Amino acid sequence: MTIETAIERLRKTLGPAIDTSDANRRLHGQNESYFPEILPNGVASPASTAEVAEIVRICADEACPIVPWGTGTSLEGNALAVRGGLTLDLSRMNKVLEVVPDDMIAVVQPGVTREALNTELRATGLFFPVDPGANASLGGMAATRASGTTAVRYGTMRENVLALEAVLADGRIVRTGSRAPKSAAGYDLTKLLVGSEGTLGILTELTLRLRGQPEAISAARAPFPTVGAAVDAVIQIIQMGIAVARIELVDRVAIDAFNRHFKTDMPLRPHLFLEFQGSPAGVAEQAETVREISAEHGAAAFDWATDAEERRALWKMRHNGFYAMKALFPGWGAVTTDVCVPISRLAEALATAEQDILASGLVGPIVGHVGDGNYHAALMVEPGNETQLATAKAVAARMAEKAIALGGTVTGEHGIGMGKMAYMAAEHGPGWQVMAELKRALDPGNILNPGKVVDLN
Amino acid sequence: MTIETAIERLRKTLGPAIDTSDANRRLHGQNESYFPEILPNGVASPASTAEVAEIVRICADEACPIVPWGTGTSLEGNALAVRGGLTLDLSRMNKVLEVVPDDMIAVVQPGVTREALNTELRATGLFFPVDPGANASLGGMAATRASGTTAVRYGTMRENVLALEAVLADGRIVRTGSRAPKSAAGYDLTKLLVGSEGTLGILTELTLRLRGQPEAISAARAPFPTVGAAVDAVIQIIQMGIAVARIELVDRVAIDAFNRHFKTDMPLRPHLFLEFQGSPAGVAEQAETVREISAEHGAAAFDWATDAEERRALWKMRHNGFYAMKALFPGWGAVTTDVCVPISRLAEALATAEQDILASGLVGPIVGHVGDGNYHAALMVEPGNETQLATAKAVAARMAEKAIALGGTVTGEHGIGMGKMAYMAAEHGPGWQVMAELKRALDPGNILNPGKVVDLN
């Protein structure tokens, strides 16, 4: 019962789909955050659900940890093999298996990325709306319950995964949910697996909800005098039930970084970046109402991105904000935060965070999916600067504690991974122990992404 | 370790909150469907979460079953004490604890009914959208993952319960979720409890998502030449992303029953009953598009319910359809079906069902939340007529099997209760066993609503 025996047995069964080369192990030991490199003992690249089940059975037999891997774009070390073992790279399972336009669903393998799916859907008039920025795999997005800029309108992966196929810790293949839009038939295993970060099962097939491509889209950006004024406008917009497709806060520090990296000249003020989708008349009505609300809250302008190209440029800037920061500080890492609070407490939470970052001396722009109460600071850290790392972690910790105190969560969309384990007891209370009981029931040997989400001690 | 000892101990601790009178036991042994009377040994009426926890601890000690009870309006015998024990009537826990307009949430005790909540919300400009017809308790609605006419626009209880407090089988009180609109912090215990029918925990507090009362509402009914034509119109409406607030199919048999009971003179054809909600311009645009689509699919008319009173009359008719049928057949019971299929298969499923009911000789009107692929037949059964009951059950069984074959579910919104247990293995495959494993982990003594949802043998 060792990892080495597991890998030997897997090699015999699966041949070249098991790779223990240093190059491949290092590729799967990286992360986009500040966590140090952690190498798995080997990398498996299965091509089918049957192969995944075979791998899991052997690993269960040998008590070898298995860590699922999509594109490696997670930000909390979610896919790092902290207890060694096998990284299960699902990128070869990248087929769109079926699109049913009448049901507005797509069935995909877990390695399909969201951009690949949307490319394939282009001719159908449908699209998959969840957009975390990175071109993540849909399996990874489901596993971390990802969301992003469009969640305010279309929901997160929680709302957009209709059914799953998964391989459990003993190699059983189960199907959860159905193609019916809703069901009251027992425990919602789909929603239990979404967000479980590979600790309860390995997602091998996803049935996703699609939406009709909107007839009309328009986007705008508006500078506000303060973050508080912008948030007050957002609260009013949400309360009026205006179904904005995106409503993003970009703070002054982030605007400065964007201006420098993207060569823009936006005023150095907190901004809202907005998008409206719908019928031409609906979009016009929404946009005008939002413009009025923004003006009432002191927005100095409301600059339209009139054509598709300008719109793409706006969202490219927002989506690549994190990479833009990293480009301004080449080689630096970032402690990223991901708190999400009730929208009524958002202004208070943001003001506290901004002051704390300012006082810390760190560079830490804030961007946020403010329609959901979710925002991120990217606290830039120079490699090897332990004092700076400690300062960044302390600022991040205070943001997390504040979010819990305000009735929120320490992670709106990045998941727990390695970075948020320390807050689970405070956030969930006795509920965290219940999660451990569920994990023990479904993975008694603790082989699926051990060390993540729950504490089994 | 007996039920009797449990009740003696409870009486000492809780006094008059424990009642073993025949009258009260019979009140809690009834159901709105065809199931025979099943009496619990006693009825507990706790006034607080602490009392619920105390009751659960004693019952756990004595291996006494506990069956939570809201208003008794469930249709599958979900709240019947099939293994005896204690019915836990939560109707005394009926306080709206908090309404936070800025966050658009309400915190309620489980015994609050949806109408009571909406009455309390009237002055806030907000409302709770889930509407199963019956004035059910919100705890019961969450426990059965209820939905109803508005789910096509606003989602089911799954989408509208943000956080819970629950008492587990060992008396532990846990809180799940938070007030943040979204979270990626671990297993979604809220969604696991929603739809668990009291088998994993007793819901003692619910945090619910509210919506802004729409500025404008309009409703209409349209007769179609065939059910298939109506369904084709629905598919096109949904695909165009038109956010209709309600879109209900009422078949010819149901129209006939409505005409007789409500003294209306609707044409004897399948109808769609529709509602639009939003801004005045948005509602007008939606309604005109839907009218055009309906006309293209052969709708002979599009009759507006212009004012609030006509609208209320329309939905009262739809909501009381089940009671109307029972009034036309006084004293009869009904085998109700609740299948939900992918919308692309809806026309086929409905045609098969209609033919089967016709061939059976039963009276069985069909109404449906067709935007969700969900529909109900009420197969009327004379008391004591065992042949008729067997026929009705056979028709219902064929509908359920057909739904599974078409990729759907045997219950869109009523839950499993006693009526749908027989289909769980076929619908879920190995997933049903996984549900049993979760139940064993959280309720090893099987005291919470035993005999429902899962099979522990």
CB B72 within 8 A of CB B91: no
Q: How confident is the model at residue A324, as a pLDDT?
A: 84
Region label for A407, one of left (φ > 0), alpha (ψ between -120 and 50) or beta (otherwise): left
Cα–Cα distance, B423 to A185 (Å, whole number): 9
- pLDDT at A449 exceeding the cut of 80: yes
Nearest to B285 among A168, A282, A432 (CB): A282
Q: How confident is the model at residue A190, as a pLDDT?
A: 98
Q: How confident is the model at residue B457, as a pLDDT?
A: 85
Regarding beta strands B126-127 and B211-212, do their DSSP bridges make them parallel or antiparallel, or are they unpaired? antiparallel
**What is the H or E stretch that residue A364 is in?**
none
Provide the shortest C-alpha distance from residue B318 to chain A (in Å). Answer: 20
Contact status of B141 with chain A (Cβ, < 8 Å): no
| A276 contact partners, CB below 8 Å, separation of at least 6 | A216, A217, A218, A219, A244, A245, A283, A286, A287, A290
Cα–Cα distance, B251 to B255 (Å, whole number): 6
Cα–Cα distance, B92 to B111 (Å, whole number): 6
**What is residue A365's three-state secondary structure?**
coil
Provide the shortest C-alpha distance from residue A57 to chain B (in Å). Answer: 16
Unique residue bearing structure tokens 């019947």: B80
- pLDDT at A156 exceeding the cut of 90: yes
CB contact under 8 A, B182 and A372: yes
Neighbouring C-alpha atoms within 13 Å toward the C-beta of A179: 22
Contacts of B196 in chain A (CB under 8 A): 186-187
**What is the H or E stretch that residue A61 is in?**
helix A49-62
CB contact under 8 A, B440 and A441: yes
CB contact under 8 A, B184 and A341: no
Residue A354, token pair as written in the block: 């901004």
DSSP A413: S
Report which of A205, A169, A192 is spatially closest to residue A450, judged by C-alpha positions: A169
Cα–Cα distance, B158 to B147 (Å, whole number): 9
Count A/B contacts: CB-CB distance under 8 Å.
273
Cα–Cα distance, B94 to B47 (Å, whole number): 9
Q: How confident is the model at residue A136, as a pLDDT?
A: 97
Give the mean model confidence (pLDDT) for residues A261-288: 93
Q: What is the mean pLDDT of chain B?
A: 95
Confidence of residue B303 (pLDDT cuts 50, 70, 90): confident
**Burial of B13: CB neighbours in 10 Å, binned 0-12, 13-18, 19+:** middle
Q: What is the percentage of chain A residues whose pLDDT exceeds 90?
A: 88
Region label for B133, one of left (φ > 0), alpha (ψ between -120 and 50) or beta (otherwise): left
Sheet holding B374-381, edge to edge: B303-305, B216-223, B271-278, B246-250, B366-369, B374-381, B333-336
φ and ψ of A260, to 5 deg: -70, -45
Confidence of residue B324 (pLDDT cuts 50, 70, 90): confident
Locate the chain A residue with the closest alpha carbon to B422: A185
**What is residue A28's three-state secondary structure?**
coil
Provide the shortest C-alpha distance from residue A287 to chain B (in Å). Answer: 13
Cα–Cα distance, B78 to B453 (Å, whole number): 9
Q: How confident is the model at residue B291, as a pLDDT?
A: 96
- pLDDT at A26 exceeding the cut of 90: yes
Unique residue bearing structure tokens 């609208």: B311
Residue type, B435: M
Unique residue bearing structure tokens 């979404």: A194
**A141-176 burial string, b = 16+ CB within 10 Å, else e?**
bbbbbbbbbbbbbbbbbbbbbbbbbbbbbebbbbbb
- pLDDT at B88 exceeding the cut of 80: yes
Locate the chain B residue with the closest alpha carbon to A171: B430
| B219 contact partners, CB below 8 Å, separation of at least 6 | B246, B273, B274, B275, B276, B304, B305, B310, B311, B314, B315
**A261-280 burial string, b = 16+ CB within 10 Å, else e?**
beeeebeebbbbbbbbbbbe
Condensed to tens digits (0 to 9), the pLDDT of residues A326-358 reads: 888 988 888 999 999 999 999 999 999 999 999
- pLDDT at A40 exceeding the cut of 80: yes
| B135 contact partners, CB below 8 Å, separation of at least 6 | B71, B73, B113, B114, B115
CB contact under 8 A, A178 and B104: no
Contact status of A453 with chain B (Cβ, < 8 Å): yes
Cα–Cα distance, B41 to B21 (Å, whole number): 9
Contacts of B195 in chain A (CB under 8 A): 184, 186-188
| A455 contact partners, CB below 8 Å, separation of at least 6 | A421, A424, A425, A432, A436
Cα–Cα distance, A330 to A337 (Å, whole number): 20
Unique residue bearing structure tokens 């303060």: A226
Contact status of A353 with chain B (Cβ, < 8 Å): no
- pLDDT at B304 exceeding the cut of 90: no
DSSP A240: T
Residue B70, token pair as written in the block: 């809201």
What length is written for chain B? 457
Confidence of residue B323 (pLDDT cuts 50, 70, 90): confident
Touching B: A residues 291-320, CB under 8 Å = none
| A65 contact partners, CB below 8 Å, separation of at least 6 | A3, A59, A81, A83, A84, A85, A86, A447, A448, A449, A450
Contacts of A285 in chain B (CB under 8 A): 279, 281-282
Confidence of residue A134 (pLDDT cuts 50, 70, 90): very high
Contact status of A156 with chain B (Cβ, < 8 Å): yes
Give the mean model confidence (pLDDT) for residues B18-22: 97
Condensed to tens digits (0 to 9), the pLDDT of residues B402-418 reads: 999 999 999 999 999 99
Condensed to tens digits (0 to 9), the pLDDT of residues B254-276 reads: 999 999 999 999 999 999 999 99
| Cα B306 to Cα B269, B276, B287, distances in angstroms | 22, 12, 12
Q: How confident is the model at residue B15, as a pLDDT?
A: 92
Contact status of A421 with chain B (Cβ, < 8 Å): no
Condensed to tens digits (0 to 9), the pLDDT of residues A373-402 reads: 999 999 999 999 999 999 999 999 999 999
Contacts of B163 in chain A (CB under 8 A): none
Q: What is the mean pLDDT of chain A?
A: 95
Unique residue bearing structure tokens 């907005």: A274
Residue A59, token pair as written in the block: 């690993």
Contact status of B454 with chain A (Cβ, < 8 Å): yes
CB A245 within 8 A of CB A277: yes
- pLDDT at A31 exceeding the cut of 90: no
Q: Which domains does chain B have, with CATH numbers?
A: 3-89 (3.30.43.10), 96-212 (3.30.465.10), 216-322 (3.30.70.2190), 329-425 (3.30.70.2740)
Q: How confident is the model at residue A305, as a pLDDT?
A: 84
Q: How confident is the model at residue B362, as a pLDDT?
A: 96
**What is the H or E stretch that residue A367 is in?**
strand A366-369
CB contact under 8 A, B344 and A102: yes
Cα–Cα distance, A23 to A20 (Å, whole number): 8
Provide the shortest C-alpha distance from residue B286 to chain A (in Å). Answer: 10
CB B176 within 8 A of CB B149: no
- pLDDT at B306 exceeding the cut of 80: no
Cα–Cα distance, B70 to B32 (Å, whole number): 13
